Structure 1
């Protein structure tokens, strides 16, 4: 469904105004607008080399989902009509970026990608702790430049806006690069520790604590997680020790070993 949402953002908002998307899809759009070839078919053909590289570098499970995503998006682009949903190019630019970003963000969140530059972005973010959307935006300057020379600079600027909006929406949904520090004060430290370790590959530091007023002895668990893991860990804590006190703060940076995937 997310792949169809991405295709709809292209065919209903961007392509009718000759506004491009990012990466390989943007290149496919240029070819589709300048030749009789269908953009969806071109998109799939251009993605094949990167899909093969990704299959070798990113693992079979990730790439099977990515291949499925690219295939569904390309097929949807073939069969969805090119229809100008809004005559206003600015509205189409913003809404195309938002809707495309929602679809792409959902795809990323479920462990796949939309192919193209996204595969390169995933390869880099697994080694470097960078926001995926901003990284993809940085790699798309060439697409914007080409659109300016082949069409006009007004379209190029709208393309830049669409790519920027899409990148920001992706970062809002795909939040693995954001880190949080959890301080958990609990009487069920051993049970909670085992529950977390059995489900998440995260280190936990345990120290002794004492209430200043009650003088009650408790254990304090410290751990760092990705933003994406927060909902699951909060539920796990609530199920294990409903009386646990949890303080959650955003972490600026992490030094030393931290599993990023």
Structure 2
């Protein structure tokens, strides 16, 4: 066998190894996320009759009414949504979601005997919301889901004028209102607090605590500005070629990504070199590859 063929086989084995490790890491994080979510639900929210939105909220109410373990409802109510997701969204997403839902169902049963951490509803809503949101955020960030209503929202988004967020909000308002009829309106309001805390915590986990911003700079002094950004901020800069929409003159555009703490320094650096520079700054949710994280 020639050296080139041996190298090709070795490269394939390396790629397969990385892919296997990637799957292992993904499902390990999904597993950890379900443990954290189950702890938030069973140690804080469920004992105080506080619900989350979506299928989890419906499952908590169903479990309370018919005295069936929470995990049974989590699996049973999600089955039709998982079928829709399989047909419309993709196998990988559904596989990760099935694993997460089954794992959460098991861990909710494990945590039942441990109840409860606090009997104060407000504390339960806040701390339960933070813990639950942290766990759900890990699951979503790694390609899974616990909530079939999100799958419905993604499908309806393609067929209606409403966005995914608007559809999910409408469904959850209905679910949280139902909690008032079952648990009382005080608990429904605590559930609304928990839902808000969960949503904000999920955003923090998915987007990261350290906010990042993409910056585009249109300047005639692009070489000097680029050197300053590289040397003073330590950030990589990409040079884009553009054209003035009115004048038709060629333009050079600098593109880079900085953290929230570097925004003011970037503005000062750019304007000190070219006070006529045109700078646009917008937040980015995630960054993959490159030198930014380093």
State TM-score, norm by structure 1: 0.68
- 1:89 counterpart (98, 118, 121): 121
Is the partner of 1:147 in helix, strand or coil?
helix
The number of aligned residues is 211
Q: 1:235 to 1:24 in 2, by over 3 A?
A: same
Partners of 1:130 and 1:170 lie apart in 2 by 19
Task: Show structure 1 runs of 4+ deviating over 6 A.
Answer: 124-131, 184-187, 223-226
- 8 Å Cα contact 1:125-1:131 kept in structure 2: yes
The answer to whether 1:35 aligns with 2:92 is no
- 8 Å Cα contact 1:19-1:93 kept in structure 2: yes
State TM-score, norm by structure 2: 0.61
The answer to whether 1:73 aligns with 2:93 is no
The answer to whether 1:25 aligns with 2:56 is yes
Question: Which sections of structure 1, spanning at least 5 residues, go unmatched?
Answer: 190-203, 209-218, 239-261
- 8 Å Cα contact 1:51-1:115 kept in structure 2: no
Q: Indicate the residue corresponding to 2:78 in structure 1.
A: 47
Q: 1:182 to 1:63 in 2, by over 3 A?
A: farther
- 1:166 counterpart (198, 208, 212): 198
Equivalent residues in 2 for 1:207-222, closer than 5 Å: 207=242, 220-222=253-255
Q: 1:155 to 1:106 in 2, by over 3 A?
A: same
Equivalent residues in 2 for 1:1-261, closer than 5 Å: 1-82=32-113, 83-123=115-155, 136-175=168-207, 181-183=214-216, 205-207=240-242, 220-222=253-255, 227-230=284-287, 232-235=289-292
Residue 110 of structure 1: how far off its partner (Å): 1.3
Partners of 1:49 and 1:27 lie apart in 2 by 14
Q: Indicate the residue corresponding to 1:257 in structure 2.
A: none
| Residues 52-61 or 80-89, more deviating | 80-89
Q: 1:121 to 1:97 in 2, by over 3 A?
A: farther
Residue 126 of structure 1: how far off its partner (Å): 8.6
- 8 Å Cα contact 2:51-2:191 kept in structure 1: yes
Partners of 1:205 and 1:36 lie apart in 2 by 62
- 8 Å Cα contact 2:41-2:132 kept in structure 1: yes
Is the partner of 1:171 in helix, strand or coil?
helix
Question: Which sections of structure 2, spanning at least 5 residues, go unmatched?
Answer: 1-31, 227-238, 244-251, 257-280
Which is higher, the Rg of structure 1 or of structure 2? Answer: 2
Question: RMSD in angstroms over aligned alpha carbons?
Answer: 3.5
Residue 113 of structure 1: how far off its partner (Å): 1.4
Is the partner of 1:85 in helix, strand or coil?
coil
Is the partner of 1:29 in helix, strand or coil?
helix
